[in-house]
Amino acid sequence: MPPNRTALETLTASRAVSRDLQQEIEQFLFYEAALQDDRQLDEWFALLAEDLRYWMPLRATLANRERAGEFSGPGDIAYFDETRASMTLRLRKLKTSSAWAEEPSSRTRHFVNNVRITPMPRDGDYEVTCAFLVHRNRSERQTDLFAGERIDGLRRTSTPAGFEIFSRTILLDQATLLANNLSFFF
């Protein structure tokens, strides 16, 4: 679900982080995007925490007065509602010849911007909200464009990447997806 904070509250909270932390987290997000675009999925998977929740709810087009219900809720139907264990199975399948939706592999380009960071109560945990655009090209003529907002939970680690992703909520702008499949990662 989208945060219940106003834009001003988000701005005020994001001022609590230093410029160095802002740059460090942005560089982590850019690194993550490069791993996905370069199809280095094992390295990307290593960035996911053991307690991961990867969730992309459905979106409905509703009247303004009903806007609070525009996204499906926890426990409702979703495009993705996964854990690290289920992501392991997806990744394993992508490496086989039975992943027909990715044969040949999609070519993706992940764009991440408008990064806003809010420290969470647990020291070293951050809520990172960003706008994203994912361009996917598959085969000769299939092209898909996905835009939206991501809300990531990042945890500082002692790994070379410096952080791990313990939650990801993907809020697509589109209410109707025209893509043949969602066989890649956001």
Count of domains in the chain? 1
In-domain check, residue 101: yes
**Alpha-carbon gap, residue 115 to 133, rounded angstroms:** 13
Q: In which domain, by residue range, is 94 found?
A: 7-172
Tokens of 165: 């992703």
In-domain check, residue 142: yes
In-domain check, residue 123: yes
For tokens 């909520």, what's the residue?
169
In-domain check, residue 178: no
**Alpha-carbon gap, residue 126 to 14, rounded angstroms:** 10
pLDDT tens digits for range 88-104: 998 888 887 777 777 77
In-domain check, residue 70: yes
CATH number of the domain within which 64 lies: 3.10.450.50
**Alpha-carbon gap, residue 53 to 76, rounded angstroms:** 15
In-domain check, residue 179: no
pLDDT tens digits for range 116-155: 999 999 999 999 999 999 999 988 888 999 999 999 999 9
